[in-house]
Structure 1
Amino acid sequence: MHRQLLEHAKAVARFAPVRPAVKAGLRAALATFVPMAVGTALNLPGGLWLAVGGFNTSFVDKGGSYHARARAMGGTALAAAVAAVVGGLVSMHPALSIPLTLLWVTAWSFAGVYGAAANTTGNIAATTFVIAVALPVDGPRAALLSGATLLAGAAWAMVLSLVLWPIRPYRPARKAVAACFEAVADYAEALSRVCQGAREDAWQALIQEQHGRIRETLEVARTTLTATRQGRVERGRGERLLVLLEAADAMFMGLIALQEDLESLGPPVSGPVGDPRAAAAVALLDFANTARDLVRLTQQEGRSRRPQPAWDGRALSGAIMDLDARGLVTRLERARLRDVARLVTELRERADVALDTACRLPGPVAPGTLPPTRELAEEPSPSLWEPVRAHLTMESEVLRHALRVGLTTTAAVWISSIFRPNHSYWVTLTVLTVMQPYTGPTVLKALQRVLGTVVGGILAIAVASWLQDPRAMMGLLFCTAALCVSLIPLNYGLFTVFATLTFVLLAEIGSGDWTLAPVRIVNTLIGGALALAGTFFLWQRSEEERFPSQMAEALRADREFFDVLASAWQRGQAPESLALAEARRKLGLATINAETSFQRLLNEPRWSTEALEPLMTLLAFTRRFAAVCTLLASRRSVPSTPAVLEALARFGRAMDGTLEDLAEAVLHGSRPRPLPAFDALLGWNVPTPDAAGLALGTEAPLLQSQLERLARQASVLHGAATRRLEALVHTPPASQPSTTSET
């Protein structure tokens, strides 16, 4: 338990590896303080609602296409304005505040069924409502004025974000696609370092660090480009950006395959002839530089001169030929090295296509000048009521969270109505902000919120005792507001420090009461305690219960990816690129979901960590299995003799059944069936000249080696699933050789 407390402390202070959102911070500060300054100068009522409308509407702007941003900001502004009006009307009838808070907060928390953007809008509508309830108005006219004033502040924020900033419709898509090339360049550089003699575990670390991050970057670019192109007649830039996105995805797949080949070569050796891995490492660094050229070309406006990369696979091919001529490599090593050279050459070909496309981004598209691409279809939108019907069950995390938040917020309103603390809405705002759908993130956010509020409150006390000139204070608060939004991507605790400092001092300026910092701290402590109590006692569901289903989905996605390959082998053909890309994308997303679930599991309060090792192995080798499949998919052909095809068919059927059995075992906590004898299925050890194994070994030693590697990955997954069951039932491990390492 002490170790876990230490981990939570580290998580509270951990900074995300990103840059501060400086522009977003400045924009949020302008959106908040400009309408307040105008309202103060003109003696307009409702300065608070001007600030709330500007800040919240600016906060909801998460980037992306301008159409999507305008829709999100406008929808949030309308929802918040309605919440301000309804909350103001409810404040006139205290007896209604408790039941209507329960209905309103629960309903808007349930809006998460429509996705992340709707969830953000729902949170803002709920927080605006509880603020309005805590600030009684004189009559319906004043309530309507609150909503109108909030809309005015929101309109200013939208003008600031969408009009006063330069409007370039494709700029978000350009930046998103450029981020893909940046991520690919980082991967290539890291792979170059690892292949030159890093520790054996560095290969696995590279997969864990890079694969999920790049897949997420590709998905963001895909969504942004789809939204940008929606409803546009102009096709030049959109089509070229689509080509570039597919090129980045193909480069990512090529690097995965290249990593598998390089790892299979073993550690570097010294001898009279240079190691080809050095040539491969140089080629990877050159490729990374080319990818960074693509970052620049994709982001900038206007035509550019095309760079001429000086690298290709010839140096690597020459080193391989030299080794072969001296008889220093076996047949299998020669096949592996030639495959490395092939993959490097394909990377160069993809880079050439991408460079040609990026240099002509602004111009019109001439027929036949672009390679064929698959259109990025927008995800089909379900009917309005379909998500609601699907989540009207207590098995739904969204419904459980909505009820949990609604009841806890209502309890906060009830406590406030009895004890009537000063600025009681700080209690309810803390509840709404801290409570997350999952236990681990709720605990982390509660710690960050409470600690950040204490630090921010102490700073507010110090500032208020030193500076009480309202004009000087407003200048300082503009800076702190910009800081708090800028620091959100880095650490939520830092955001809370400066948000507390900003809004406590704003409240003190408005009320003339310079002692509100302790009130903020006490109210935050009360709200944090209520949020944790609601999380732990109202329909809590541990991540240990959710993770098996996510892990099973990832294993089934592995099976579907492999099935695309196996089906093509049975036809004696190369797999279809479209089916392969879709299966690979589905696998990447399923694995990201499983890894996210596992991270939430790590953040939950736990008394023991003994069952975590098998789960970590399952996650790691699900990606390893996919990496070998990616390498197999990069093959342009497979041996087509009947004996070999029959052996591949037997192997494919056995692997398909094994992965489905592993998924079922992980999902239900059962013992997986014994593994098939993959060697015997392929006949690798059959001595007769006509055997499938001999034919396979003669015609495709590299394919044989890669399939052996795939079978070893399945063996590791099988061992991890078995150890997980043994940890669940607290029985000593079965006597069997360890399968947690793979060479």
Structure 2
Amino acid sequence: MRGSLAIEAARPQWLAGLRAATAMTVPLIVGWVARRPELIWAGLGGWLTMLSDPGGPYPTRASAMGTFALMGAAATLAGGLAGLTPWAAIPALFAFAMICSLIRVHGDTAATIGVLALTMFCITEGSPAHLADSLVRAGMFVAGSFFAILLAVAVWPFRPYHPVRAAVAASWMAVGDLAAAAAKVASSPADAAAWESLVPLRRRARDALEDAREALAVARAGRHGETGRGLQLLVLYEILELLLGDLAALLEALRARAERHEPLPPRAGEALVEISRALEAIAEALVEEGSYALAAPRLEASGDSALLFSRVEGEIRQAVESVQALRSGGAGPSPPGALSFPEEAPSLRDAFAKASTELRHALRVALVATLAQFLATALRLERSYWVTVTVVLVLQPHAIATVRRALQRAGGTVIGGLIAALIARHVREPLALGAMLFGLAWIAVSVRRINYALFAALVTPVFVLLAETNAGGGHLTRIRILDTLLGGTLALVGAIALWPTRDLERMPALIAAVLRADRAYLDAVLHGKGPAEAVAARRRVGLATANAEAALQRLIAEAMPPARIEPLMALVAYGRRLSASITALGAAPPSSEYAARLEGILDALADAAQSGAPPPPVPPLDDLPAPEPAQRLARQLRVVQSALARLG
């Protein structure tokens, strides 16, 4: 319940909401004025196509929205025809649900397109039409979709590199936020909880870097030559990859000193504040016009952190030169060589692998949606597609996420139904009603990423009132609420009964993946394999840790016993801390014998995590001299060994 009421730390997307509301209401207004009720399908096409907009570079957006336009048109045609015969409707829904759910393997954008296309299939199957009418619907849907694409990509200023600059700037700002928070922690370094509060910020910085990486890849795809601006944006991305690793290593060194009750280097907090200001100035200079006083800070430190401060200072200085070249159009620094080769994208073949989460989810959606359609038909429910649409929108790959979405959908629909009833009673003028629906649609899309319950509460009146206008009655509010409750209940039962994903069983493999990624990163750093391979290895550590953290958060939400959760929390936390200590080894490498022992320990711990066997004891390393980063890594490996022993 607490999770369903949570407000995500995101800003309202007012421009996206305005575009979505415009794409929906313009066809509806034209249809009302011209007395062409079939234009409601163009409005629905515009609305759903706007929801499929993933944001980012224009080619990415146009490709995703165009793909949905074609899939949505096919769903409109196929659903309308399949619904004519009840015995054809059931297997057709099952097949289409499987296809739309399996494409989730291609990522979040593909998952969104699949859900929206399946939603369209459910709507038209619930309101069947013969071939001629279905073709008209599909044509109207495509027209509305391409009107939405025109609004999203062409009407607003078309600047090919602006989304890339925004993505790169956001990544610099995210790392700047991490440095600013670290500066506050440095003022009270003995507080362990304060150091832990930096973990979400570091994860957010990694996510922002992944967005920038994807934006750069799309912008550069198919280009035969690199433009000067494109090159400097690439340079800034690569510099930040290196800087984030060095900053994480620096923070880990400071934290280790605090844990040993040693004082931090003088002016460490002030230096972090200067780093934060420099990073934020770089981010602002990337996207804002005007003059900026860009300069690298002068950082002074001593001990094992001195070299890390020096590396961060040098990376900021190189970034300042790159930003100045980007703004002036002159020549800037050359890339530091930290960009790795693109990794192979997942394919549908991966979805059919043994114990595939995507395959189980696809079967779950297909079976529950088919059951919902069968029950709605048997019970002769009016607007029966509201039941199947609720199932499609509520069911998530993980049970705890389904419970949260069901509560949000049901609660939002009830509140939205009450709002619709009040509007229907007190607003009679069509112009005022249209303006109110436009405003609700605008706000709904704007806050969609903040809280889904709020989105459902705002969007329910829009579609209930549109449906009641076409139906000529005021009885559909109650039907919408009852259908939503039935669909939500079926989705909850399906999530719990059909192949529920058990994160507790998956955690050993996820922890092993983190440790093996740390081991690969250690190999890249110790053997000097170059910036590209080292950055790629550290990136894989971040992605593996993010997967483990997501599963851990779901376990915590399920109120698992603390004795099972505590060692998992330690393993996930230290999986990330290991990578920071490994980064520091690049500045102070140990002897080859000491390095070989560290590699052997990590291999043994990863094997133990994968097999569930008791981990072997960490052999003593005190007989060999080693720099502080290597000793710190050895201490952290002992913590990992202890947590694995408690987990077993």
Match of 1:65 among 48, 57, 67: 57
What is aligned with 1:373?
337
Deviations 1:319-364 (A, max 9, x none): xxxxxxxxxxxxxxxxxx2443333333232222212211221555
1:512 aligns with 2:472: yes
What is aligned with 2:228?
236
> Does the 8 A contact of 2:525 with 2:583 survive in 1?
no
Between stretches 453-462 and 24-33, larger displacement belongs to 453-462
What is aligned with 1:295?
283
Stretches of structure 2 lacking an aligned partner (at least 5 in a row): none
1:610 aligns with 2:610: no
Cα pair distance change 1:658/1:251, threshold 3 Å:
same
What is aligned with 2:612?
669
What is aligned with 1:223?
214
The alignment partner of 2:326 has SS state of coil
What is aligned with 1:532?
492
Name the CA distance, whole Å, in 2 between partners of 1:409 and 1:486: 29
Name the CA distance, whole Å, in 1 between partners of 2:633 and 2:560: 36
What is aligned with 1:592?
546
Cα pair distance change 1:35/1:278, threshold 3 Å:
farther
What is aligned with 1:729?
none
Name the CA distance, whole Å, in 1 between partners of 2:327 and 2:27: 38
Name the CA distance, whole Å, in 1 between partners of 2:267 and 2:488: 57
1:707 aligns with 2:597: no
What is aligned with 1:3?
none
Percent same amino acid among aligned pairs? 36
What is aligned with 1:580?
534
What is aligned with 1:501?
461
Name the CA distance, whole Å, in 1 between partners of 2:319 and 2:601: 39
How far 1:446 sits from its partner (Å)? 0.8
Between stretches 284-293 and 172-181, larger displacement belongs to 284-293
Given residue 114 of structure 2, which amino acid in structure 1 is its aligned partner?
G
1:312 aligns with 2:298: yes
Name the CA distance, whole Å, in 1 between partners of 2:512 and 2:524: 19
Q: How does 1:391-406 map to 2 (within 5 A)?
A: 391-393=351-353, 395-406=355-366
Between stretches 101-110 and 197-206, larger displacement belongs to 197-206
What is aligned with 1:733?
none
Q: How does 1:34-45 map to 2 (within 5 A)?
A: 34-45=26-37
How far 1:57 sits from its partner (Å)? 0.5
Deviations 1:649-682 (A, max 9, x none): 33333322322222232223221112212223x2
Deviations 1:692-716 (A, max 9, x none): x4xx5xxxxxx1x322211110111
Given residue 77 of structure 1, which amino acid in structure 2 is its aligned partner?
A
Name the CA distance, whole Å, in 2 between partners of 1:463 and 1:277: 63
Cα pair distance change 1:464/1:14, threshold 3 Å:
same
What is aligned with 2:48?
56
Stretches of structure 1 lacking an aligned partner (at least 5 in a row): 1-8, 318-336, 569-574, 639-644, 683-692, 697-702, 726-743
1:193 aligns with 2:193: no
Match of 2:322 among 338, 357, 360: 357
> Does the 8 A contact of 2:361 with 2:396 survive in 1?
yes
- How many residues are treated as equivalent by the alignment? 647
Cα pair distance change 1:199/1:14, threshold 3 Å:
farther
How far 1:567 sits from its partner (Å)? 3.1
> Does the 8 A contact of 1:312 with 1:344 survive in 2?
no
What is aligned with 1:5?
none
What is aligned with 2:307?
342
Cα pair distance change 1:393/1:16, threshold 3 Å:
same
Given residue 718 of structure 1, which amino acid in structure 2 is its aligned partner?
Q
The alignment partner of 1:611 has SS state of helix
Name the CA distance, whole Å, in 1 between partners of 2:366 and 2:213: 35
Name the CA distance, whole Å, in 1 between partners of 2:323 and 2:508: 43
Deviations 1:470-509 (A, max 9, x none): 3211110101111111111111111111111221122122
Given residue 549 of structure 2, which amino acid in structure 1 is its aligned partner?
E
> Does the 8 A contact of 2:185 with 2:195 survive in 1?
no
What is aligned with 2:414?
454
> Does the 8 A contact of 1:88 with 1:133 survive in 2?
yes
> Does the 8 A contact of 1:196 with 1:278 survive in 2?
no
Name the CA distance, whole Å, in 1 between partners of 2:276 and 2:140: 52
What is aligned with 1:332?
none
The alignment partner of 1:612 has SS state of helix
What is aligned with 2:172?
181
The alignment partner of 1:679 has SS state of coil
What is aligned with 1:723?
646
Deviations 1:432-486 (A, max 9, x none): 0000111111111111111111111122222222223332111101011111111
1:624 aligns with 2:612: no
How far 1:378 sits from its partner (Å)? 4.2
Match of 1:144 among 135, 142, 159: 135
What is aligned with 1:735?
none
How far 1:393 sits from its partner (Å)? 4.4
What is aligned with 1:650?
593
Q: Which has the larger radius of gyration?
A: 1
How far 1:407 sits from its partner (Å)? 0.8
What is aligned with 1:171?
162
How far 1:377 sits from its partner (Å)? 4.5
> Does the 8 A contact of 1:226 with 1:377 survive in 2?
no
Match of 2:76 among 63, 84, 92: 84
> Does the 8 A contact of 1:35 with 1:156 survive in 2?
no
Cα pair distance change 1:289/1:419, threshold 3 Å:
same
> Does the 8 A contact of 1:257 with 1:634 survive in 2?
no
Deviations 1:520-563 (A, max 9, x none): 11101100011011111122231112222111100111111122
Name the CA distance, whole Å, in 1 between partners of 2:294 and 2:488: 58
> Does the 8 A contact of 2:281 with 2:292 survive in 1?
no
1:211 aligns with 2:202: yes
How far 1:42 sits from its partner (Å)? 1.8
Cα pair distance change 1:373/1:668, threshold 3 Å:
closer
How far 1:600 sits from its partner (Å)? 2.4
Given residue 566 of structure 1, which amino acid in structure 2 is its aligned partner?
L
Given residue 21 of structure 1, which amino acid in structure 2 is its aligned partner?
Q
Measured on the aligned residues, the alpha-carbon RMSD in Å equals: 2.2
Name the CA distance, whole Å, in 2 between partners of 1:587 and 1:310: 29
TM-score (norm 2): 0.95
TM-score (norm 1): 0.83
The alignment partner of 1:16 has SS state of coil
